[in-house]
Structure 1
Amino acid sequence: MKDNYFYFDDKYRKLQAEKTRMAWQLGLHDGKRARVEERKCKKVDCNNLFKVKYFDPKQFCSQSCSATHNNLKRGPLTEEWREKISLSLTGRPNESAKFRKGNIIVPRLKKICPACNKEFLTARWRNKKYCTVNCSMKDIGSRPTSPKAARAKAGIRPDIDPNLYFFSRWEANFARLMTLLKIKWIFQPKTFQLKKQKYTPDFYLPEHNSFIEIKNFLAEYSLKRDKEFRELYSEEKLILILKEDYLKLQEQFSSHIENWEFS
């Protein structure tokens, strides 16, 4: 029924979209917009004008003007008052209620960053090795076998299929190779439920009844996932194509494929 119903026709939908766009541009639907009004900043020595929607209670043009206006009577805080405020806040939960100001609930460990040799504190349960993400990228990201260093280029490849979104060059090249060899393939056709996660193989070859997984290398996480899959779905055939296998295919077939992507 959907195919025969005129509303789902592409030409009809494009025509209606164009009509609606023109109506908004001509102001025919202005009544549906929230009314905008111009206000003057309430701060005495500020004459800035700002625009807000009519239901917005905003009275100042900026947070700075609001703070200056509302804190005129208070004046600067003395050190004594600052200390009192700090003591009164100690032990109170913050907005997210994850920790209390002044109280360290989780014991911290001192660690040395292997990238910059800087000492930093981290929670005992966190497997944190680097003080910052930048240090992590400098050290781990420079390794060729690192997931962070993988030169994946996600996106649609029009020469393969304008409706498929590949997550790496290797996946796209494998699809091109299967097409060249005239082997039917389906990209990420099925998701399997493992013990604590879900797993979707990269490809399925229906003529060979085999799933294909393309990996640069097998990290500990990938090894556990692969083992779980083979235990739970022993009837399914899963073929791993690792870096060494992929490079052999690239050497053999890349010259025969016009749009082969080199990483």
Structure 2
Amino acid sequence: MLPHERVSFAHNSERQFAKLLDFYQIEWDYEPTAFDIDWDVAGVVTHRFAPDFYLPEFDIYIEITTLNQKLVTKKNRKVRRVTALYPDVRCKILYQRDYLNLLIKYGLEEPSQGSLLQGEMATPPERTSALGSMLAG
């Protein structure tokens, strides 16, 4: 069983992204860390942010957003807050256009289709130089 088959994802886009990472043998964790990003006057945490993926090989968190602009704005704010509060943490948002470009480039269908296309993916040996560099960059 592949790693993406062991996780219950919140969205199909996350499942497809995990499939892509699995194919290219890029290790990942799903929502492994929730960062405290806001507190009340008593010091009690009022907001946390858990990025969708952590890629240990690249030491970067990835948040996927394929939703409406209002939610994109909220996610942008949360990622900025995380990087301001935790300067050693690298976090990147994978926007809808970037996500769809990945699906096309690496042979996946659009997120609503839910399955891999036949035979269009590059081979795993190029995984780090191509996909990994794009995500970490």
Q: What is the TM-score when the length of structure 1 is the normalising length?
A: 0.36
Displacement of 1:182 in angstroms is 1.1
1:98-155 CA distance string (max 9 Å, x none): xxxxxxxxxxxxxxxxxxxxxxxxxxxxxxxxxxxxxxxxxxxxxxxxxxxxxxxxxx
Which of the pair has the greater relative contact order for Cα pairs under 8 Å at 6+ separation? 2
Whether 1:225 aligns to 2:78 is yes
* Alpha-carbon spacing, 1:231–1:181, altered in 2? closer, same or farther (3 Å): same
For the structure 1 residues 255 and 171, does the alpha-carbon distance in structure 2 shift closer, same or farther, using more than 3 Å as the test? closer
1:76-99 Cα distance to aligned partner (Å, 9 max, x none): xxxxxxxxxxxxxxxxxxxxxxxx
Partner residue of 1:247 out of 100, 104, 109:
100
Identity of aligned residues (%): 25
Residue 55 of structure 2 is matched in structure 1 by 205
- Equivalent residue for 2:31? 188
Q: Deviations over 1:9-34 (max 9, x none)?
A: xxxxxxxxxxxxxxxxxxxxxxxxxx
User: 1:174 corresponds to which letter in structure 2?
Assistant: F
In structure 1, the residue matched to 2:17 is 174
Residue identity opposite 1:203 in structure 2: F
Q: Structure 1 stretch 212-221 or stretch 186-195: which is displaced more? A: 212-221
Give the CA deviation at 1:255.
Answer: 4.8
Amino acid at match of 1:229: V
Secondary structure, in 3 states, of the residue corresponding to 1:225?
A: helix
Larger of the two Rg values belongs to structure: 1
RMSD, matched Cα: 2.3
Deviation at 1:161, TM superposition (A): 4.2
**What is the aligned residue count?**
102
Q: Distance in 1 between matches of 2:37 and 2:19?
A: 30
Question: Which has the larger share of helix?
Answer: 2
The corresponding residue for 2:90 is: 237
* Offset of residue 224 of structure 1: 2.3
Q: Distance in 1 between matches of 2:108 and 2:80?
A: 35
Cα distance change on mapping 1:202 and 1:255 into 2, 3 Å: closer
1:58 aligns with: none
Look up the SS of the partner of 1:254 in the other structure.
coil
CA contact (8 A) 2:4 2:15 kept: no
Displacement of 1:160: 4.6
Gaps of 5+ in 1: 1-157
Q: TM-score, normalised by structure 2?
A: 0.65
Q: Secondary structure at the match of 2:104?
A: helix
Residues in 1 aligned to 2:99 and 2:3: alpha-carbon distance in whole angstroms: 19
